[in-house]
Chains A and B, each alone.
Chain A
Amino acid sequence: MTSVGGNGQKRFDIEKTVDVVIVGGGPGGALAAREFARGGVKTLVVDRRQEIGAPKRCAEGISNDGLLESGVQPHPAWTSGRITGAVLYSPSGKIVTVDDETAVGWVVERKVFEKHLGKDAIEAGAQYMVKTHIDQVLMDGARAVGVTGDFMGKSVKINAKLVVGADGIDSLIGRKAGLRGSVQKMRDFHSAAQYEMAGVKCDMTRLHLYFGGDVAPLGYVWIFPKAAGLANVGVGILTSKSKHGHRAIDYLDRFIAKHPEMFEKASPLEVNASGIPVSAGIRRFWGDGLMLVGDAAQQVNPIHGGGISLAMRAGVIAGQVGSKAIKEGDVSAERLSEYGRVWDEVHGKELARLYKFRMFMEELTDKDMERMADLVTIDVIVDLTYARFRSFAKLMLTKMPTMVPLLAKYLMAPGKKFEMEALEA
């Protein structure tokens, strides 16, 4: 309970003063915590969940490089499926298999994975509080100076020099601190449903992605295999396509019913849902005494909706910049803008290019996709995943020239004539 003391100030049951409070102990928050702690500042993570890692809202796929990039070594306790490629299925069932060294990755056990990341942060010196619901950001003018909330019926106040919002798609920290861009937009938000199933029969060494207007409008169905016949089977559709009878879960159930060869003996062990930001990131994700990380900053790949490795990397950058800023005694928005600049170079610009490609993809008909399935090579697909458009543009130019106006519209700077040199990257 919060009581009011003699001097008119609210008294809190639990009050702590730290250098940085990180709201949210997912992969982004945990990596931020590790880096802040390594940077030598007093770090506290608060998470509203009573169990770190559950429930998951995630297909659990991450590339091996994505782990290493943030200094996390794959560990058998949480790596479930080892993935060596992907199979793409066109609306009519044409198959494109993409096996590539850079596509090697894992389907992880989020419940164990997040705990391990938390353990790393704690061993680096961070502290954690779970089942702690934050509902306000303390502001001193425009500067965030802490958070308040509650822990099991006790009121909580955390004073901090820096507040990090790693609080997911429903980030409260961004909103409360005045970063209105953190509110999700229907246009850039996928509606997703998933079962984790046992008894799935498919090639368990590759991700399987199914496309088509009937399968998943402006999205796709995924099968992410884990170990021993387990798999995350899910669908994401653009929210604007979601309506009664055509919700994400409806598409998922229909897909499963349509594929007895894979699911005849399968049953769900979990049902999950989520919203997936596909905006490529909000413009301002820092402020005075404030940083947003991961889904809270919409740092998600807008083409495939993957966000674990991006959140982790953002957490690392935020922790490195933020801990320096705290030590220098300057946590102004200007000082913290270094986080934005580094992010732009590392991933931000690439995500912005992928966003343009998403806009292009959204205009494609099933027929266009069929034709592309006949034409694309592995090299072209790999290029696209890195937002390198040239090989794809060249292919369209020579084999599918009807696509050129669309390419010009979405992948080129406005007003430029279509020419290869004008394509970004």
Chain B
Amino acid sequence: MVVTVNPKVCVYCAGCVGLCPVESIELRETRLTILDSCTDCGICVKFCPVEALSGGRPLD
């Protein structure tokens, strides 16, 4: 499943950006963007402290 971010939930901590193995998440101030190069590995989804991210390979 494609990884998506819910901007209503995201508190823009950027932890997912640091974890992303392929540099496919960008944070500009408060706006988090998943780039087309995302491989849907799901690492960011697993990390997100507030569950603003969904989709990706299930790692739970």
Contacts and interface: CB of A to CB of B under 8 A. Distances in A.
Interface of A: 48-50, 55, 57, 131, 133, 168-172, 175, 183-186, 189, 191-193, 239-240, 242-244, 247-249, 271-275, 277
B43 A271 contact: no
A170 B29 contact: no
A273 B30 CA distance: 13
Nearest to B54: A244
A185 B19 CA distance: 6
B36 to A, nearest CB: 16
B49 A273 contact: yes
Chain B interface mostly helix, strand, loop or mixed? loop
A236 to B, nearest CB: 9
A274 B18 CA distance: 10
B49 A189 contact: no
Given A170-B18, A175-B23, A189-B19, A274 B46 contact: no
A360 B42 CA distance: 28
A169 B15 contact: yes
Contacts of B50: 193, 247-249, 271, 273
B29 A247 contact: no
Contacts of A171: 18
B28 A192 contact: no
Contact of B15 (A131, A172, A191, A271): A191
Given A50-B29, A248-B49, A271 B19 contact: no
Contacts of A170: 14-15, 17-18, 27
Given A191-B47, A249-B51, A275 B28 contact: no
A112 to B, nearest CB: 20
Contacts of A271: 11, 50
Interface string B4-45: 000000011111111111010001110000000000000100
A184 B11 contact: no
B48 interface: yes
A57 B20 CA distance: 18
B28 A247 contact: no
Contact of B29 (A49, A172, A249): A49
A55 B10 CA distance: 13
B48 A247 contact: yes
B15 A275 contact: yes
A12 to B, nearest CB: 19
A244 B60 contact: yes
Contact of B48 (A186, A191, A277): A191
Nearest to B46: A242
Contacts of A169: 14-15, 17-18
16 contacts: A50-B29, A57-B14, A168-B18, A186-B19, A192-B49, A239-B19, A242-B47, A242-B48, A242-B49, A244-B60, A247-B51, A249-B51, A271-B11, A273-B13, A275-B47, A277-B18
B18 A189 contact: yes
Contact of B28 (A48, A55, A168, A242): A48
